[in-house]
Amino acid sequence: MIEARRLHILRAVADHRTVTAAAAALYLTPSAVSQQLAALEQETGHRLVERGAKGVRLTPAGEILLNHTNAVLAQLERAEAELAAYSSGAAGTVTVASFATGIALVVAPAVAALARSAPGIRIRVQDAEGDASLPMVLDRQVDVAVAVEYRGAPPADDPRLAHVPLYAEPFDAVVPVTHRLADTAEVPLAELAKDAWIGPYPGNPCHDVVILACENAGFQPRMEHSSDDFRAVVALASADAGVALVPRSALRGMDLAGVEVRPVDGTAPTRRVFAAVRRGAEEHPLIRPVLDALGAAARL
């Protein structure tokens, strides 16, 4: 194994052309430089330097090793620079878990913004529903969760987590184009009590929002079809398989040819989205810029 410090000495000798000058530059004695060069030759199995009347020059084998030395030492310099930046909080990796719409709406724009404003911070993104992402933060599997308020979720004053509100959005009613309420300006939820429903699986925070909204309207929805993918939910509605409540942002860019999307009459069910980190970590020099970037993306 070649020792990096001996590569430093080889390059110093190549630069200064004499052992004495190289030793002075490295704050070593000439005998120490000579000993390290001899050890390097033993490690490589090649004669690396030749001494002459005008000083020291590298052999062809020494020139080959010098070329690699420059690459190796440059990489070590980069490593030291990154470690120094990391120790000051200017560089490092932050892992963010978010549900799919949150990734599209705030996480991806935040990643793009951080690439410009804080290029030393590397973001790793994992797709996870809100009920899964908060335990992932607590278990130290990820650093930041973009999650949705749901029944049973840790409250905002939970001593384990720090919450940063991001945005709130209404759920809209999605009904087939042939539905009796397709032409109404707003859909009263109570009028959908006898319909078949399509919605997320239990445990998904959006499932809780839908169930609670229907309960507040005086009925329990009859869930005939379940999917956590809102594109599948809308496709089923377009096939006249039932009705649904879908977060407004999840409908962006979706094929809505077979459905009508209408606001909910009265107080619309709302998805409240927040970022969460382990309490005490919100001011970490790596995490604070991520939270700020998520907040800025949400405001946009």
- Predicted confidence (pLDDT) at residue 49 exceeds the cutoff of 80: yes
Residue 73: per-residue pLDDT:
87
Q: Letter for the amino acid at 216?
A: N
| pLDDT value for 108 | 98
Domains annotated on the chain, with CATH: 4-82 (1.10.10.10), 89-166+272-298 (3.40.190.10), 168-271 (3.40.190.10)
d(CA 275, CA 289): 13
pLDDT score for 32: 95
The tokens describing 2, both together, are 């070649």
Q: Are strands 55-58 and 49-52 parallel, antiparallel or unpaired?
A: antiparallel
Average pLDDT, whole number, for the chain?
92
Number of Cβ within a 10 Å radius of residue 287: 22
Query: What is the tens place of the pLDDT at every residue in 66-117?
Result: 999 988 988 988 888 778 778 877 789 999 999 999 999 999 999 999 999 9
In sequence order, what DSSP letters do the residues of 126-167 get, joined into one string? EE--HHHHHHHHHTTS-SEEEEE--TTSPPTT-TTEEEEEEE
Confidence tier at 53 by pLDDT (50, 70, 90): confident
Q: Residue 164 pairs with which residues in a beta bridge?
A: 275
pLDDT-based confidence at residue 166 (cuts at 50, 70, 90): very high
Could you give the angle at the alpha carbon of 220 between the alpha carbons of 216 and 224, nearest 5°? Answer: 135
Quick check: 130 pLDDT over 80?
no
pLDDT at 139: 87
